Amino acid sequence: MTVAARTQVAIVGAGPAGLLLGQLLHRQGIESVILEARSRDYCEARIRAGVLEQGMREVLIEAGVGERLEQEGLIHGGIYLRFDGENHHIPMSELTGGRCVTVYGQTEVVKDLIEARLDSGAPLHFECASVALHGIETDAPRVSYELDGVAHELHADVITGCDGFHGVCRPSIPDDVLTTWGRSYPFAWLGILADVAPSTDELIYAWHPRGFALHSMRSLELSRLYVQVATDAEIAEWPDERIWSELDARLQCDGWELQHGPIREKSITPMRSFVAAPMRYGSLFLAGDAAHIVPPTGAKGLNLAGADVTLLAEALVDRFRSGGVTGLEEYSDSCLRRVWRAQHFSWWMTSMLHIDPTDDAYGMQLQRSQLAYVTSSTAAATSLAENYVGLPFERAPAAHG
Ligand code: RFL
Ligand code: PHB
């Protein structure tokens, strides 16, 4: 037996893209069903991004999920670039007319959005198996899936693919329709979460001949740090002492000391750039990592996912309220303009800060020259700052009633 249901928007994936889209649509009175492959615990525990652009912060607040973010998020008006044992401050806020970023974990954004969804009573199903799309080239698409061993079929006007890079939505589009671009980098990041107060007030991005290091944080008691490692590195080769000693060496700076603490979590992330276009095929719309990914050095992935679904929500509201299709027709091109800017910025930050094992000493001299330029020229620092804090988000209209 198959259980059939109907909704306006079927959302595949309960990451930040799918959950925020569901919340924005719910606020506008548009029905959606969110289908997620993993458990709630898994989604809430997955440690990823930590930096929200100002536009993303504003969208979350306007969407009614900003309470904890406003209380607990750390507002940062700058970052440090550290190299050759010296620390250089980039005063991003000063350089961008007062724009800032907020340090608030993606796990917390996801928890806030899941709570809001469950409170609203709108459907969100975890642990959906065998999710598959059908009829996406028509205007009567459907999603089949299994939940607790029972087969389901969800009919919708539109399907949104918010299921990340490894999801099923992008592969449902015929190969000859999509153009893809990408690059894999010859290094990875090993990230740790440590129970120790951050040794810095703002994030430190460090260039070092031994490899890149980043000092970030999650709160005033919890530090998040990353070191560049080989693509084939394994966690077992990185006991805590080795991680701290690499961080000490790479973040070294006169008169400064890195505080160590118990490590709660360790993970290795490959670095990749990828774009698939167009982000629409028939009645399927891709958003977030399902359509594009960036290496994390520019802190852009989560923010791009937020910008996509903000535009998508606006276009869907127009479509369901007044039958307007311009927003949906322009969705892919509008997103891709921002996506390509973030692609370039993320590639640029990555290339400037990492040691490429296939490169030579000449490449390192170019990086040091670029770092010296960015930290001494207001024009160059302004370009970095403008990209890091992000372009303003385009907005959905205010809720009715
Ligand atoms: P997600 O978060 O991958 O969510 C996709 C969801 O879809 C589910 N799914 C399915 N559901 C149903 N059926 C299927 N067949 C499914 N297949 C998959 C998955 O279980 C999942 O729940 O994608 P989304 O929503 O597009 O969000 C994108 C962001 O998660 C990602 O871009 C960021 O985490 C990237 N990123 C950063 N972005 C920033 O803006 N700022 C940062 O500081 C930042 N730092 C980072 C990062 C990513 C990192 N890693 C681990 C990749 C730091 C790291 C280390
Ligand atoms: C993080 O805090 O996880 C983080 C911060 C900045 C980045 C990437 C990740 O560029």
Q: Residue 5: its pLDDT value, please?
A: 98
pLDDT at 401: 32
- State the pLDDT at residue 397: 46
300 classed as catalytic:
yes
Residues pairing with 254 in the sheet = none
pLDDT at position 332 is: 98
Q: Which two tokens stand for residue 87?
A: 């620390």
Q: How far is CA 55 from CA 2, 307, 324, in A?
A: 42, 8, 25
pLDDT in tens, 163-195: 999 999 999 999 999 999 999 999 999 999 999
pLDDT in the model for residue 391: 85
- The span from the CA of 21 to the CA of 311, in Å, is 10
pLDDT of residue 301: 97
Among 46, 56, 226, residue to substitute to test ligand 2 (most atoms within 8 Å of Cβ):
226
Average pLDDT of the chain, as a whole number: 96
Out of 205, 226, 281, 331, pick the active-site residue: 205
What whole-number distance in Å separates Cα of residue 119 and Cα of residue 112? Answer: 11
Choose the catalytic residue: 152, 215, 292, 300.
300
**Position 308 confidence tier, pLDDT thresholds 50, 70, 90:** very high
HEC profile of 369-390: HHHHHHCCCHHHHHHHHHHHHC
Q: Which atom of ligand 2 is nearest to the CA of 191?
A: 3
Residue 85 covered by a domain: no
Domain assignment present for residue 265? The answer is no
d(Cα 66, Cα 47) in Å, to the nearest integer?
19
Mean pLDDT of 154-167: 98
pLDDT single digits (tens) 20-66: 999 999 999 999 999 999 999 999 999 888 999 999 999 999 999 99
**Domain span at residue 140?**
2-76+99-183+272-354
Q: What is the pLDDT of residue 399?
A: 43
Q: What is the CATH number of the domain that holds 103?
A: 3.50.50.60
**Lining residues, ligand 2, CB within 6 Å:** 49-51, 203, 216, 224, 296-297, 299
Note the pLDDT tens digit of each residue in 81-103. 999 999 999 999 999 999 999 99
* 388 catalytic residue (yes or no): yes
149 found inside a domain: yes
- The answer for residues whose C-beta is within 8 angstroms of residue 301's C-beta and 6 or more apart is 48, 49, 288, 289, 293, 294
pLDDT of residue 176: 96
Residue 115: per-residue pLDDT: 98
Would you say residue 310 lies in a domain?
A: yes
CB 218 within 8 A of CB 105: yes
Query: Residue 395: its pLDDT value, please?
Result: 59
Judge if the upstream peptide bond of residue 278 is cis by omega within 30 degrees of 0. yes
Ligand 1: residue whose CA is nearest its atom 46: 49
| 214: helix, strand or coil | strand
Give me Rg for the CA atoms of the chain: 21
Predicted pLDDT of residue 398: 44
C-alpha 102/C-alpha 117 separation (Å) is 23
Nearest atom of ligand 2 to the alpha carbon of 218: 2
What pLDDT digit, counting tens, does each position of 310-320 carry? Answer: 999 999 999 99
CA-nearest residue for atom 4, ligand 2, is 50
pLDDT > 80? residue 394: no
pLDDT, one tens digit per residue, over 324-352 is: 999 999 999 999 999 999 999 999 999 99
What is the structure's pLDDT at 194? Answer: 98
Domain for residue 26, yes or no? Answer: yes
Q: Which of 76, 111, 152, 208 is catalytic?
A: 76
As a whole number, mean pLDDT of residues 257-280 equals 97
Q: Per the structure, how many domains does the chain have?
A: 1
Pocket test for ligand 1, best of 74, 289, 300, 310 (most atoms within 8 A of CB): 289
pTM of the predicted model as reported, rounded to 2 decimal places: 0.96
Residue 36 falls inside a structural domain: yes
End-to-end CA separation in angstroms for the chain: 40
Which ligand has an atom closest to residue 303 CA? Answer: 1
Residue 357: active-site member? no
Choose among 171, 174, 150: nearest CA to 161.
171
| Cα angle value 110/3/290 (rounded, 5°) | 35
Q: Please tell me the residue having the least CA distance from ligand 1 atom 55.
A: 48
The answer to whether position 162 is within a domain reads yes
User: Is 83 within a domain?
Assistant: no
Mean pLDDT (whole number) for 221-244: 98
